[in-house]
Structure 1
Amino acid sequence: MLGNLEIRVGDVPVPIGHNRQKSVLVALLTEVGRVVSVDRLIDRVWGEHPPARARSVLRTYLANLRRALTSTGIVITWRDTGYQVTVDPDRVDVHRFRRLLTRARGSDDPRRALALTDEALGLWRGEPLAELDTPWAQSAREHLYRERDAARADRIDWALECGRHGELLPELTTRAAEDPLDERLAGQLMLALYRAGRPAEALEHYQHVRQRLAEELGTDPGPAVQQLHQRILTADRTLTLPGTDPAPEQTTGRVPPPRQLPAAPAPFVGRHEELDGLDAALDASGQAATVVISALAGAGGIGKTWLALHWAHRHTDRFPDGQLFVDLRGFSPEGEPMNPAVAVRGFLDALGVDPGRIPVDLDAQAALYRSLVAGKRMLVVLDNAATADQVAPLLPGTSTGTVLITGRTTLALLIDRHGARHLQLGILTHDEAHTLLARRIGDRRVAAEPVAARELVDLCGRYPLALSIMSRYVSTRPHVPLAEFAAELRELGVDMFDNDDPAVSLPAVLSWSLRGLTDEQRTAFALLGIAPGPDIDLPAAASLTGLPVARTRKVLRALEEHSLLERHPHDRYSMHDLIRAYATTTAHDDLPQPVRRAALDRVVDFYLHTAHTADHHLYPHRGTIQLDPPAVGAHPHPLPDHATALAWMDTHHAHLLAAQHTAAAHCRHQPVWHFAWLLGAFHQTRGHRHDDLAVWQAGLDAAAHLPDPAARIRAHRFLGRTYIGLGQHDEAIGHLRQALVLAEHHHDSSQRALTHHALARAWGQRGDDRQALNHARQALDDCRGLDQPAWEADALNTVGWYSARLGDYDTARDHCQAALILHRRHRHTHGEAYSLDSLGFIDHRTGHHHQAIRHYNQALSLRRTFGHTYEVVDSLDALGHPHAALGDHAQARAVWREALDLYRQQGRDTDAERVQRQLDDLDKPTGAGQADA
């Protein structure tokens, strides 16, 4: 509950429904064992905007929760005045958090108190009560944040008592910079500095705090901090933990251990998984037979050095013999990476070697370096490495040392030969990115414009360097609203992050990654930026680049190893949005227009011809279209069967939409129309109504440039069909009438038949079943003159359906049974399901409810088998009515609940509301389940 609510039985998570349903459980769990009234629950879950019939909705949610929680030991009970949840409080994070802190504060052992507090703070997972956005939740959240802050402050006191001052210093330094007026925090930092042998810095920090308090509040530090200051001035021995020396000085004539780490970056947020990985490697160093090497890899500006220095400063006490640091300039504006000989020489100087004793040969220098650090507990940070060869001479030879490397490439040789642990850095989480922005520009500014702040985080892509650059813009212009920066960033894109200083310019930082690429790899990188769709798979990438598949794989692997590309399962590759924006700029700046155009023609034809193959498997009974041969170098993907075709279309739906858009941008009118045709039936099957509208609007625009009048007729007809699905009847009938006029003008009987069929649906949706039946009969008359048995069967079924709607059940049954026979004869499963659905409706209306159930179940089975998800829910909706008519309310409730969930998922709100009313009617004592479909 401190973060996202999750209930588990053993290791298995229990699904407890959508967010609003979770909110009801959260509101109860905050008061385990207490009765929460209905009004208080409604207020907590919905605040000032409860839904209509809130009590009924609440009862439904609670009933669903009781079922979901049956095996968990969590029990929700109705009492006289409200609901009570019963569960062991230790299973609820917020109660366990408080109980652990109570035990910690009651303990006399600081180590025990520290362990309990760490356990309590470890329960935090994101935003408290994240499922709720009501005034009550906001107040509870603020209270929990205050409890957490108090726990963190107590934890620092206990950690200091345990002698962990060295570990605390990076955190205390960062927090003190963020909140310079917190006197308790100031005292904790002063004590940690003193115990770390840095009394001068402790006294300097006191003066800094005293000055800030005087300037901003007109007051002096409190008695506790003043007393600590005086004790440090007098070197009070009681400040020193037993067995430690607060300020050891180096004896004259000895070279002090090197302390080369640059200042710890501030602020630092997140990266918990990576920090844990580095900690685990360090903890395992005692068992390692060789030096422990961790290699942080990631794109430029992703925060590798930021993480490395934060971790290094956090563990300086683990390396008493010193810390070495060098920027190897593998990717920097200076151009050439640092020669390893220069780095080794720098390390020898830091270790106090007399210049006259340093050999000339690099191998000899590296050997001397390894001799000097042998057996010592030292940390070596090699930042911004380009290659394994650059790093190898700088590796210690014994297991007591630890090496931390950052770079943009996967250092394969180090992994294979030296067992280096590879950690790949990605972008920050939403919470981490939001926290980073708030710490850089101030919590108040973020709180004043939360929507604009969230948009800035999203537009920066949660990319650390982009967030830092944007934070600099914002913080140096305190009077400009965040919304203005967000608008500017939307307009300028990656150019917003450019700067004359290349060290703080995201495009410049990214450009350094291209230096190590071949011409072929740089071209592929640029082309991937302009490829249609959110990502790309290997076959599509091969067509885009015009390279053989094996060669393409090698190129993609090289880009991946340079942290410019991410590989996902099933040979899919993606770029971060900002890297892709830079790749797009590179394509337009560096590649000639004919090269870009040829690549896009190849990849568009890849998607078009593969979709054509998929369409043949999915809808073998509808008309076919002839495509031009694909562009040279495009290699469509083979799809062997229906299941593979459906999976490919689902996976690549976004790419097909983008490919149509790309074709339209290049005025390739025939492919634009072909994409509309190939996507239309799939959209109807999967319920992508708004996408269908968009592709057919583009198809209609393209048809105006094509010589075949049937293209315009079909475009108007399919637009009409799409508007029917969207419930926009006037627009639907308008387009269908245009299609009919064009079909009659061009004497196209097949298009006339199909248009009449669509008009039947349009008038039926509008509620005029008589007009619908007239068009259905005209469609049937036209179809009988064509050699199209599937069309004739569809028309028969449509006549039967509207006859049934008008009460002529004998005519309806005759036509629908004839349609079913014809569909089955020609193995037209899609039409077969429609005919079975119609027969189920007729049976239900004529009182043959068992027969109706049989027909509906057959239709449902076919639609599930062939992935017709949009129509599955309609069959479920219809199936509930004969069950209800037979008094089988349990079965009716089961299918309607499934239908309700699917309608909501598909955004069909009107249908969802109707099914909810049907479910509510089942609970009434009379008249249950009598409404017809």
Structure 2
Amino acid sequence: MEESGLEALRFSLLGPLRAWRGSDELALGSPQQRAVLAMLLVSRGRAIGVADLVDGVWGARPPRGAVAVVRTYISRLRKLFEPERTPGRPSGLLVSIGDGYALRTDSISSDLADFEEAVTRAERRRVAGDGAGAVRLLRTVPATGNGAALAGVPGPYAESARTDLAERQLGALELRLSLELELDRHEAAVPELLALRNAHPLREAVVELLLTALYQCGRQAEALDVYASTRRVLVDELGIEPGPSLRAVHARILAGDPALARLTFHGPTGDARAPHSSEAVPSPEPDGPSPGRRAKAVNPAQLPADHALFIGRRMELDYLATLLPEGNGPPSAAVIAVIDGMAGTGKTTLAVHWAHRIAHRFPDGSLYVNLRGFDPHGSRLLPGSAIEMFLVALGVGPQAVPEGLDAQAALYRSILADRRVLIVLDNARDAEQVRPLLPGTPGSLVIVTSRNRLGGLVAGHGAHPLTPGLLSAEESYELLSRRLGDTRVDAEPQAVAAITELCARLPLALAIVAARAAHHPGFKLADVAQELRSHHGSLDAFVGDDAGTDARAVFSWSYQALSSEAAGLFRRLALHPGPDITTVAATALAGAPPRRVRVLLTELTGASLLIEHAPGRFVFHDLLRTYSGELAETEDSESSRGAALLRMHDHFLRTAHNASSVLDPFRETIDLPPSATGSEPRRFNDRAQASTWLRTERYVLSAIVEHAAAHGFDEHAWRTAAGLDVYFNRLGFWHDLLKINSVALASARKIGDPIGQAYALCGLGVAHSQLNHAEPALEYLERSLELFRSAGNPFGQARGHRALAYLANRTDGRGVALEHYAQARALFRAEADRNGEAGVLNQVAWTYILIGDHEVALNCCRESLALYETMDDPYGVASTQDTLGYAYHHLGQYPEAIVQFERSARLFAEIGDRYLESDVLRHLADTHRATGDKGAARAALRSALALLEEVGHSDAEGVSAVLSDLDA
């Protein structure tokens, strides 16, 4: 790499985008070329895919050949920055990485890097107690008033980055002013705060600082006037009252509180409720969301229900209370509480109870996940899966979740940066499972439970450990009294004391005994204690330092008290691989009538051997699952277990295909092996029912495919994966699609099934196409097509050609796409599959629109529509009408376009496909805007926005922005 010219390169981003080599300013080219450069600079050395560059520059309407244009911009920038580079030699500055590019930052400098370094150093000094030093550093950073960042750079990415950078600059200014107040510089800070408040009248963090400064200056009346005017503006313009923090400062001023504390600032991201900061805006890094896309602010409430009979733990609760500041505010520094100890001590119950007590202090919601760190089948939840669940709960659409743990964690930390969230990470295996789930900024609280002592979190992250002991004798007595009644317990104090000790004062053991005794009110507690003595010493997995902590007697005795049918179901439930199990899946495992299984499940939950954590969804306590698995191994024969597993896999295989056939009734069917088990699959009346089942069972289904492959049910594995293809692809769960088809491919190869291999390869190719992995996508799809061709499977061949055509269109190969579509159409026509042919014609029409030949597109649409209408396929008709409207729009025939879009939207509404209905409404709004009818455009966009918000889709942000532009 030539070093000449690289070291002297310097860029300016916090105003107009500019560049210098030494003292010479460089001409950066067209606005779009500068937009590409801005994306690379802001991404700070991380690669951005070509497709993301196209989206970031042009958004949803890129010009023809946009990918080639981007590559031209890259070539020009390389020549500009490295004029002496040997032709043909790879660039040492603007490097190619996969299907994208990255700008190395080790040989360049920028005002953005200087800004971030200054803020980071200031934060360190603030934490170290050097407030004056932090202020000096923050005075060196440019303020937002010096000009908009990336001024003059076009495109949705630049707009998003501009908003984010302005927010970060404003946050740095707020941090400095808060430190000025801490240094008793109130008089000097007031003029700046007044100007800042005038510029951002809806930003409550600024108003809080201003109120505090005025009050400390003795200007109480003026502070009250500022609050009153702020409240009027919030009520008049946003229809909301001031937030609790601002109201609290106002109340203290009214009371003349002489000890009004200085506001503790939570970092440079700020915590305002102004419109521009009511949404989490992650830094526009390529390992975060796609350029220009942001997470819609959502306040999740995921805490499990607090235990109605919670008792004791006063010492533990008092200790936990010391971890938070007095009052009702959130922590000003990162706080991690680790509740560890042996299984059954009530760690989760304590964590959830405390979380409910303090949840009001975290206005941005609560997150909860069971990490399954000690799952006996080894299916502990990976950090990436947990983060993905959290991201979706926080408002990120499934399609916007990036690939890879690092990218997911970066987006997760960015979204939490200006939020105050309570996070409960239950049942962690080790520190490595927890670290990616920790916020990167203060303000939130993390509660972790684990059987292991997570010393890595204590040493490396300053976590506060707590190890709850066994219940005291008094607490145990109180627990039994709550569940059995004072009269019954007080009548046999010696028996209660014996039960308490035989249960080792273990909360879970005591709960099981209490459930048994409550179910039999005529039993004497002395007899219960005697039964415990006679079975004592038999649970090896639950042994502590002495015999007093052996609780097998509790589990085995409770199990033996079950009816024989319930005991059999208890053992079989351990065979299920998912994180929880439904009543229908339990029915398949039991091989009994559904009504009878519901009775048995009620018996198990009544005995505290199973938990119904949601209606019709059950989970084991992890020790009980271990115990159940041991019983299944010892009490059931291998053939009995195998029969139960076959029933379960039959159930999921057929239910998945039932759901797929409802979502896409004209798709080619995959023959299923005959079922001799009598296992009944679920059936669905409409797409909504099918989608709901697939959504709630998503993680179970992924585990089922892997379980089938691991236990020799290879045919079930690949066929179940094939049945999930439609849903996972349409909803954007492409990472899941990769995982299940990788397993399916191995299973199909194991049994030598070429058709199974072909379907799995096609699924892998589609997933890689959607994730912009062009090379592996092409390899998988070509291998799939060859297998389908060798097997003489015309429908599979048509599927392969359509997938290859789609990939070609994504990589600007329009001619190649048309060739594949032609072959797919010929295959469908030979098989008299009019629906398949109609679908291909619609896709061909879309290809011609991309080419710019809209008249040909119209003809293809009309031919497709005629075929669809003869088959009564509303989904196909709606899709084609949308394409038809799009072609009319580009021809300037707006009335015809409006008619087609309205028909398409009505059909999608009747079908119940909210996302595609919203997509059509956005097209309709574009056409109304083209005619000058902004009112109709607003109405269509508002309807689209409501639909997107209903399904929690990330596209809602873009629609909201367009609406704001129209309303401006």
TM-score, normalising length: structure 2: 0.49
State the one-letter code of the partner of 1:603.
M
Alignment of 1:758-797 (within 5 A): 758-797=803-842
Distance in 2 of aligned mates of 1:302 and 1:827:
66
CA contact (8 A) 1:330 1:386 kept: no
Match of 1:540 among 572, 576, 585: 585
Distance in 2 of aligned mates of 1:323 and 1:902:
61
How much has 1:766 moved relative to structure 2? 1.1
Distance in 2 of aligned mates of 1:876 and 1:622:
26
Distance in 2 of aligned mates of 1:753 and 1:906:
32
**Deviations along 1:413-450, whole A, 9 cap, x unmatched?**
669xxxxxxxxxxxxxxxxxxxxxxxxxxxxxxxxxxx
CA contact (8 A) 1:753 1:782 kept: yes
State the one-letter code of the partner of 2:163.
A
Give the match for residue 496 of structure 2: 328
In the alignment, is residue 83 of structure 1 matched against residue 190 of structure 2? no
- Secondary structure of the 1:52 match is helix
Match of 2:665 among 609, 620, 623: 620
Give the match for residue 552 of structure 1: 597
How much has 1:842 moved relative to structure 2? 0.3
Distance in 2 of aligned mates of 1:699 and 1:170:
49
Distance in 2 of aligned mates of 1:311 and 1:601:
42
In the alignment, is residue 703 of structure 1 matched against residue 748 of structure 2? yes
Give the match for residue 692 of structure 1: 737
TM-score, normalising length: structure 1: 0.50
CA contact (8 A) 1:498 1:506 kept: yes
Distance in 1 of aligned mates of 2:572 and 2:758:
37
State the one-letter code of the partner of 2:671.
Q
- Secondary structure of the 1:83 match is coil
CA contact (8 A) 1:535 1:573 kept: yes
CA contact (8 A) 1:604 1:659 kept: yes
Distance in 1 of aligned mates of 2:743 and 2:943:
35
How much has 1:543 moved relative to structure 2? 1.8
How much has 1:517 moved relative to structure 2? 2.9
How much has 1:833 moved relative to structure 2? 2.5
**Deviations along 1:500-538, whole A, 9 cap, x unmatched?**
435446777655543533444333223222313232232
CA contact (8 A) 1:609 1:630 kept: no
* Alignment root-mean-square deviation, CA: 5.5
Match of 2:775 among 722, 727, 730: 730
Distance in 1 of aligned mates of 2:630 and 2:715:
29
CA contact (8 A) 1:333 1:512 kept: no
The total of aligned residue pairs comes to 561
Distance in 2 of aligned mates of 1:94 and 1:327:
53
Give the match for residue 604 of structure 1: 649
Is 658-667 or 895-904 further displaced after alignment? 895-904
State the one-letter code of the partner of 2:658.
T
How much has 1:660 moved relative to structure 2? 1.8
CA distance 1:802–1:384, change in 2 (3 Å) = closer
CA contact (8 A) 1:327 1:384 kept: no
Give the match for residue 411 of structure 1: 518
CA distance 1:569–1:103, change in 2 (3 Å) = same
Match of 1:54 among 146, 163, 182: 163
CA contact (8 A) 1:408 1:513 kept: no
In the alignment, is residue 659 of structure 1 matched against residue 659 of structure 2? no
**Deviations along 1:594-642, whole A, 9 cap, x unmatched?**
3322212111112222333333333221112232233435233344555
CA distance 1:336–1:173, change in 2 (3 Å) = closer
Match of 1:527 among 572, 588, 592: 572
State the one-letter code of the partner of 2:717.
V
**Deviations along 1:473-495, whole A, 9 cap, x unmatched?**
xxxxxxxxxxxxxxxxxxxxx99
Paired-residue identity, % = 28
Larger Rg: 1
Give the match for residue 236 of structure 1: none
- Secondary structure of the 1:784 match is helix
State the one-letter code of the partner of 1:628.
P
How much has 1:733 moved relative to structure 2? 1.8
Distance in 1 of aligned mates of 2:639 and 2:630:
16
- Secondary structure of the 1:620 match is coil
How much has 1:129 moved relative to structure 2? 11
CA contact (8 A) 2:511 2:608 kept: no
CA distance 1:517–1:717, change in 2 (3 Å) = same
Distance in 2 of aligned mates of 1:306 and 1:852:
76
Give the match for residue 587 of structure 1: 632
Give the match for residue 457 of structure 1: none
Alignment of 1:402-441 (within 5 A): 407-409=514-516, 411-412=518-519
CA distance 1:711–1:326, change in 2 (3 Å) = same
Distance in 2 of aligned mates of 1:105 and 1:323:
57
Distance in 1 of aligned mates of 2:197 and 2:316:
52
Is 505-514 or 709-718 further displaced after alignment? 505-514
- Secondary structure of the 2:574 match is helix
State the one-letter code of the partner of 1:798.
Q
Give the match for residue 844 of structure 2: 799
CA distance 1:765–1:92, change in 2 (3 Å) = closer
Distance in 2 of aligned mates of 1:580 and 1:79:
58
**Deviations along 1:801-860, whole A, 9 cap, x unmatched?**
212222222221111111012112112233223211211210111112333233234333
Is 671-680 or 884-893 further displaced after alignment? 884-893
Distance in 1 of aligned mates of 2:808 and 2:925:
26
In the alignment, is residue 675 of structure 1 matched against residue 720 of structure 2? yes
CA contact (8 A) 2:503 2:549 kept: no
Distance in 2 of aligned mates of 1:172 and 1:302:
12
Give the match for residue 348 of structure 1: none
State the one-letter code of the partner of 2:843.
T
CA distance 1:803–1:582, change in 2 (3 Å) = same
Give the match for residue 230 of structure 1: none
State the one-letter code of the partner of 2:798.
A
**Deviations along 1:559-613, whole A, 9 cap, x unmatched?**
1111122235653323344543443444345544333222121111122223333
State the one-letter code of the partner of 1:602.
R
How much has 1:51 moved relative to structure 2? 7.3
CA distance 1:782–1:274, change in 2 (3 Å) = closer
CA contact (8 A) 2:882 2:901 kept: yes
CA contact (8 A) 1:301 1:506 kept: no
CA contact (8 A) 2:921 2:940 kept: yes
Distance in 1 of aligned mates of 2:895 and 2:474:
69
CA distance 1:613–1:91, change in 2 (3 Å) = same
Give the match for residue 886 of structure 1: 931
- Secondary structure of the 1:547 match is coil
Alignment of 1:189-204 (within 5 A): none
How much has 1:136 moved relative to structure 2? 6.9
Give the match for residue 146 of structure 1: none
**Deviations along 1:233-280, whole A, 9 cap, x unmatched?**
xxxxxxxxxxxxxxxxxxxxxxxxxxxxxxxx9x988748999xxxxx
Distance in 2 of aligned mates of 1:689 and 1:867:
22
Give the match for residue 69 of structure 2: none
Give the match for residue 758 of structure 2: 713
State the one-letter code of the partner of 2:929.
A
In the alignment, is residue 849 of structure 1 matched against residue 958 of structure 2? no
CA contact (8 A) 2:516 2:607 kept: yes
CA contact (8 A) 2:503 2:554 kept: no
CA distance 1:540–1:847, change in 2 (3 Å) = same
- Secondary structure of the 1:567 match is strand
In the alignment, is residue 818 of structure 1 matched against residue 863 of structure 2? yes
**Deviations along 1:286-319, whole A, 9 cap, x unmatched?**
xxxxxxxxxxxxxx999797866689999xxx99
**Deviations along 1:292-351, whole A, 9 cap, x unmatched?**
xxxxxxxx999797866689999xxx99xx9995553786785999xxxxxxxxxxxxxx
Distance in 2 of aligned mates of 1:765 and 1:805:
11
How much has 1:737 moved relative to structure 2? 1.5
Distance in 2 of aligned mates of 1:268 and 1:781:
65
* Relative contact order, higher structure (CA 8 A, sep 6+): 2
CA distance 1:51–1:840, change in 2 (3 Å) = closer
- Secondary structure of the 1:718 match is helix
State the one-letter code of the partner of 1:839.
L
